[in-house]
């Protein structure tokens, strides 16, 4: 008989480092790649693998995320399939989720109702393709209580990640450390370490017992990576799954093994730039493992005017439905639906979200423009960073970020 699997997606992240993009929405609900939301990537991975019973635990500013899930992620109920957002319900008293482990502890009724053999616990704010079924099969074969997905990273970057130290067999986890300065390399590759991807597969009983024990510890931060995994590592019941071994149908040599944590403005921007190369570093055009979403009933994109210097053009860019490029030039950019770029404007290296209007002769360089911003005629964004810092958010790497509906000054 087929094993029963329940997927839990942790989508309660506040996303402070992505401000102002998270000023009005939860981090997993932030638009990404023109037509998607961040959460579409993990949900697509689960759906493509055939895991169609999915609970999404939400908390901060979740309305836009809940609405997106409700409108987009509708499964056939005939076979009992569902994707359902579950906010903090205060079932155990008048308190919010105190951490990712506490979120699961407060939601044990969902696991008890479904009675699965195994529970997938994945984060909601990473950009990647993965076949979770291969990881589940590896977990079942190992007999471990938990399997942690690890991605190989250079040893020199160990102090930037939660690092998984493995035993000589290359599978059993002997330590789980946060940003260590003295990490050692892998048994089969001394110049690499395993960084935790924040994706776990649990045997159901082990998960329920671990979060229940953690809930009784007043000194715990009630975090999956910080508390639950180290608890099971100490018992010798945790294994690693090498993301390199995950073979997603349709992957190219260029984008195989891609994973990016888009937790900062710069990583969010860089992940968009990964999409638009001729041979993209992350390929959205893999039809064997599609990323699913719903972007509304927009008409096709349109490019108008084609004489002298007033030509509607887009080069090395992704242009969504509903966009009108009217006598303007768009380069190295990702443009979301219902954006209008007016004559003689120049957009270069930008991420522009839904409903933005770019006025005539405006210049936008190396910027992220959130929804419904109006860029006045002749405005310049990303040209004078000293001026921009006084008016807007500017990232460490010089990306100008304008928040949702923010007024743009000339």
Cis peptide before 349, with omega less than 30 degrees from 0? no
The reply to whether 162 sits in an annotated binding site is: yes
| 214: helix, strand or coil | helix
Q: Which residues pair with 54 in a beta bridge?
A: 7, 83
Flag whether 71 is marked binding. Answer: no
Eight-class DSSP state of 402: E
CA-based nearest residue to 10, from 130, 97, 117: 97
> Is residue 179 marked as binding?
yes
404 in a labelled binding site: no
3-state class of 392 per DSSP? coil
Do residues 85 and 37 lie in contact, with contact meaning Cβ atoms separated by under 8 Å?
A: no
C-alpha to C-alpha distance for 109 and 123, rounded to whole angstroms: 20
CA dihedral 98, 263, 6, 47 (to 10 degrees): 160
In degrees and rounded to multiples of 5, residue 22 shows phi and psi of -105, 15
Distance from the first to the final alpha carbon of the chain: 66
Cβ–Cβ contacts within 10 Å for residue 133, how many? 17
Binding residues for alpha-D-glucose 1-phosphate: 162, 178-179, 196
């Amino acid at each position: 008989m087929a094993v029963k699997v329940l997927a839990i997606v942790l989508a309660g992240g506040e996303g402070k480092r992505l401000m102002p993009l998270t000023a009005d929405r939860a981090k997993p609900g932030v638009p990404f790649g023109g037509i998607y939301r961040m959460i579409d990537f993990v949900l697509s991975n689960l759906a493509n693998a055939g895991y169609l019973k999915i609970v999404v635990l939400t908390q901060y500013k979740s309305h836009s995320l809940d609405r997106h899930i409700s409108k987009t992620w509708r499964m056939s109920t005939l076979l009992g399939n569902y994707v359902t957002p579950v906010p903090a319900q205060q079932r155990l008293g008048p308190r919010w989720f105190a951490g990712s482990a506490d979120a699961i502890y407060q939601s044990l009724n969902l696991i008890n109702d479904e009675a699965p053999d195994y529970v997938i616990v994945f984060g909601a704010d990473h950009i990647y393709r993965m076949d979770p079924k291969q990881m589940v099969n590896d977990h079942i074969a190992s007999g471990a209580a938990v399997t942690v997905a690890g991605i190989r990273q250079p040893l020199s970057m160990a102090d930037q990640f939660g690092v998984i130290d493995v035993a000589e067999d290359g599978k059993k986890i002997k330590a789980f450390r946060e940003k260590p300065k003295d990490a050692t390399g892998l048994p089969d590759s001394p110049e690499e370490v395993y960084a935790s991807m924040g994706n776990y597969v649990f045997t159901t009983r082990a998960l329920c017992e671990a979060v229940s024990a953690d809930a009784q510890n007043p000194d715990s931060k009630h975090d999956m990576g910080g508390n639950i995994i180290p608890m099971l590592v100490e018992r010798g019941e945790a294994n690693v799954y090498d993301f390199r071994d995950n073979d997603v149908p349709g992957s190219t040599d260029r984008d195989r093994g891609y994973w990016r944590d888009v937790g900062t403005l710069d990583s969010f921007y860089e992940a968009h730039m990964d999409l638009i190369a001729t041979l993209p570093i992350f390929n959205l055009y893999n039809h064997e493992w599609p990323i699913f979403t719903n972007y509304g009933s927009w008409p096709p994109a349109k490019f108008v005017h084609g004489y002298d210097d007033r030509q509607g053009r887009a080069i090395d860019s992704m242009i969504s439905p509903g966009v009108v490029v009217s006598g303007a030039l768009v380069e190295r950019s990702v443009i979301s639906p219902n954006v209008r770029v007016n004559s003689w404007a120049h957009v270069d290296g930008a991420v522009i979200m839904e409903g933005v209007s770019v006025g005539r002769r405006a210049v936008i360089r190396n910027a992220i423009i959130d929804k419904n911003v109006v860029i006045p005629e002749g405005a310049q964004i990303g040209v004078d960073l000293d001026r921009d810092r006084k008016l807007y958010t500017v990232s460490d790497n010089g990306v100008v970020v304008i928040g949702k509906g923010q007024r743009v000054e000339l």
